[in-house]
Structure 1
Amino acid sequence: MDKKGKIYIVLTIIALLSIVVFESTKPQALNWYPSYTKHHKIPFGTFILHEQLERLFSKNNIVDVDRPPYEYLNSNDSITGTYLFINNRITFDKAELDQLLDWTARGNTLFIASESINKTLLDTINADNAVISNLNNFDNVYRFKLKNNILIKNDSYTFDKADIISYFNKIDTLNTSIISVVDSKNSQNTKEHINTIKHPFGNGHIILSTLPQAFTNYFLLTNPNQNYTAGLLSYIPHAQSIYVDAYYKSGKTFYSSPMHVFLNAKELKWAYYIMLVSVLVYIVFEGKRKQRAIPIIKPLKNQTLDFTRTIANMYYEKQNHYEIAQHKIQLFLDYIRTQLYLDTNVVDASFIKKLANRTNNSVKDTQQLFNNIEKINNKTTLTKSELEALNTLIESFKSNNSWKKTF
């Protein structure tokens, strides 16, 4: 490699190292993804909530359910307590909602905190919801209040990370209790909107909240918002089991890829990136395609003719004319049997006549050929001229065969 190429390599390595140092010292950006998953410590995870549930209630009464509610309740029809759903969007199908409502009517509590609530469920409790206009609320700061005087520890609680806030614009005023309300802090319109309600259903209760963020890490760590969340949780029966849904979650409850281990730790992540860059540098500078010389393999020759010539020369050099004549006679008789379909065991006048007719030879020439063959068979030695004469007769006889002339 020339001097110029080496300079380019050094400059590339320095640039890569500079990028690595810069990225490793840069503050890591917060992940604001609305996960609502219990093992996530990101702002919108629910890691702290699950810790507090185990502290406020008995740890043995907290049950994580990672199956669909319909499937879980079918398998555990006799359970009692509170079924807690927290996510930015929860959509039950009709069969699943009917299953949950039947279970609630038997004296249990259905607690749902979601920005979007099933229309069918709202119709069931004679309620409806809408979205608060933030036309004059440019900072997206909302103020929440608990309506139960026993639970009020602060005048209000603020939240500034919601793009939209929905509320209940219609409720059954005779049966529905208001748990909390919300308004836009910086808006000139100070009208309070209902955002958490409790409605009796059969022998049980349905609790609906339009602020699932109230149960996230960010909200709970913003003092004194934890009191607001505690006020909502106080409506859950204390002595009963709490079935925390882990199925309807926007974030994954587990990582299916082992690469999460590398990418989640900053040191391992950059080690992985450096390895990829090193491989790329190797491919660019050293990974040129190198073609090995392909040897020329000559195809195998057909040695049949050479073999035949070798055998023939061997016999000829030994001057063993008699054996060559015998081979020649046997091959000729085999030719008659396989190509002319005549039996050669008995050579008489009838055989001579049939053979002459099939080969377009005269009876005289045919008889002369077999007389010569019989003469040779009666000898024990043979001269070169006699062998040549036999070969001439046989080849001349076969050349007149118009029926099997190709053989």
Structure 2
Amino acid sequence: MKGSRWFILIMVLFLAVMFLVEYNLPKKFVWNPTFSRHDYQPFGCAVFDDVLASSWPEDYYLSDWTFYNFENDSTDESIAILAVAQRLKFSETDRNAILRLAERGNKVILAATAFSLSDTLGYDMSYTWFRASELKKYVGAVNVRDSLYWLPDSATAYPAAIFEFYPQLCNVYFTKYDSLSIPLAERGSEQSRLKKDSVELSAEVTAAGPVALRRPVGKGEIVLVSTPLLFTNYGMLDKNNAAYIFRLLSSAQDLPLYRTEAYNKSEYEQRSPFRYFLSQPALRWGLYLTVITLVLFMIFTARRRQRPIPVIRQPENKTLEFTELIGTLYFQKKNHADLVRKKFTYFAENLRRGIQVDVEEDGDDALLCRKIANKTGMETEKIATLLARLRPVIKGERNVSEQEMKDYIEGMNEILKRI
């Protein structure tokens, strides 16, 4: 027992030391884009949502509604809807809902590297897939930023400005767009750089293409942004580039803003019920306490336990009880002759084994009596009288009384004692 206690103590100390070491290690960032409201990693949106919730002029909401749900909402209040994802794949129902929302005076802001609206809004885009490993290699080797140029726009009333980002975050742009779409910002080529304090686009600057378009539709508008990674925690905290994000959202600053996560959920997030448990503090702590309780139960029940020793009682002698039961049955039936016959069978067997005399053969009782008398030392006449009286009873020719039964049994017992 002492050895197991020392083992448990050593294991607990080892786990505590490992926990402290892991807790004090530098935290590693995960650069996978999730755009999740619960993700505090660089490309999550927890910080982004907190900043907008505290600084947006109107109300800011997080929602799981699709555009079809927003379009079928019974309220007639104009709103702004923001959808951020790596790629936005809309169904025909979603596309129709987006157009009807904009026609009714709502603002729809879509940030992604690919949309499903090219046939509807008449644009073409370049295509590049984001890889976090390429971003790390580029920052470690080159560490040069590209420029995004904010174009003067009468609708937003913002002056021209320059914002700098790593090229992997803004390398998707619109290669073609129709005359109804208004560019809001363009990406400069890597060879053309402007000083940070410059706010004019000189002739030396070569624009690669717009990265943000504003398309009026009916009473509202649709804003397409090809740089979704800027709408994350990293984009919000990277230098003073938060101003660029607010410029893109400024056309909706007088409306309540809804950010929907209906189009950026992974299959795991949609199916796992633990997502909701972990998102609620009370349920999360309940889950933690359940796991801790199970671990403690496993620790305290893992030690070896001795099984209880069963109590083995000495077998009881039921012979006397059985004899009394049989005797009671015979006494109640008054069948004394049958009892004499069973006693005689036992008597004959003992004589056969003890002195090799078979009294069940009644051919020559005189000879049997002499043999028994020689072996036992009893009188021959007494033995002959007993056998003569027993023969009719054994053959079932006569019945006996209780006293006769006792006399016969005592006579047989006397012979047995002398063998």
Please tell me the TM-score bracket, short chain as reference: 0.5 to 0.7
Query: Is the alpha carbon distance of 1:78 and 1:319 closer, same or farther for their aligned partners in structure 2, counting shifts above 3 Å?
Result: closer
Distance 1:235 1:184 in 2: 27
* 1:257 pairs with 2:273: no
The aligned counterpart of 2:27 is: 28
Query: In 2, Cα distance between the equivalents of 1:191 and 1:203?
Result: 31
Task: Check if 1:220 corresponds to 2:236.
Answer: yes
Distance 1:390 1:221, change over 3 A: farther
Q: What secondary structure is seen at the aligned counterpart in 2 of 1:235?
A: helix
* 1:8-407 equivalences in 2 (<5 Å): 15-38=14-37, 40-44=39-43, 45-52=45-52, 55-59=55-59, 62-76=60-74, 78-118=76-116, 121-131=117-127, 138-139=138-139, 141-148=145-152, 150-152=157-159, 154=161, 156-160=162-166, 162=168, 165-172=171-178, 174-183=179-188, 185=190, 190-236=206-252, 238-250=253-265, 255-257=275-277, 276=295, 287-288=303-304, 290-293=306-309, 313-317=327-331, 320-321=334-335, 388=396
Query: How much has 1:19 moved relative to structure 2?
Result: 2.2
CA positional deviation for 1:240 = 3.2
Q: CA deviation at 1:37?
A: 3.5
Partners of 2:394 and 2:11 lie apart in 1 by: 92
Contact 2:151/2:160 (8 A) holds in 1: no
Amino acid at match of 2:149: K
Deviation at 1:209, TM superposition (A): 0.2
Q: Kindly state the Cα deviation for residue 6 of structure 1 after the two structures are TM-superposed.
A: 8.7
Q: Distance in 2 between matches of 1:147 and 1:170?
A: 17
Equivalent in the alignment of 2:416: none
1:100 Cα shift? 2.0
One-letter amino acid of the counterpart of residue 70, structure 1: Y
For the Cα contact (< 8 Å) 2:150–2:160, is it kept in 1?
no
Change (3 A) 1:258 1:216: closer
State the distance in 1 between where 2:304 and 2:52 align: 60
Residues 1:19 and 1:239: Cα distance change in structure 2 (over 3 Å): closer
Q: Give the distance between the partners of 2:170 and 2:187, measured in 1 at CA.
A: 12
| Structure 1 residues 13 and 201: alpha-carbon distance in aligned structure 2, compared to 1, 3 A threshold | closer
Task: Write the distance in 1 (CA, Å) between the matches of 2:88 and 2:8.
Answer: 54
Judged with a 3 Å threshold, the aligned counterparts in structure 2 of structure 1 residues 313 and 126 are, in CA distance, closer, same or farther, namely same
Is the alpha carbon distance of 1:109 and 1:308 closer, same or farther for their aligned partners in structure 2, counting shifts above 3 Å?
same
Q: Is the contact made by 2:170 and 2:226 (CA closer than 8 Å) also made in structure 1? A: no
Shift in CA distance, 314/14, structure 1 to aligned 2, threshold 3 Å: closer
Gaps of 5+ in 1: 325-383, 392-407
Mapped to 2, the partners of 1:224 and 1:2 lie a distance apart of 63
- Structure 2 match to 1:363: none
Distance of aligned partners of 1:274 and 1:25 in 2 relative to their CA distance in 1, 3 Å threshold? farther
The Cα of 1:102 is off from its aligned counterpart by: 1.8
RMSD: 5.0
> 1:158: how far off?
2.0
Aligned residues: 314
Cα–Cα, structure 1 residues 389 and 34, in superposed 2: closer, same or farther, change >3 Å?
farther
8 Å contact kept, 2:152–2:160? no
Q: CA offsets, 1:218-272, max 9 Å, x none?
A: 2122222122112211222x4333333243344869943359869x99xx99xx8
Whole-angstrom CA distance in 1 between matches of 2:8 and 2:105:
73
Q: 1:58 to 1:17 in 2, by over 3 A?
A: closer
Paired letter, 1:202: G
How much does 1:107 deviate? 2.9
Partner of 1:362: none
**What TM-score do the two structures reach when normalised by structure 2?**
0.58
AA of the residue aligned to 2:47:
F
**Alpha-carbon separation, structure 2, partners of 1:63 and 1:53:** 8
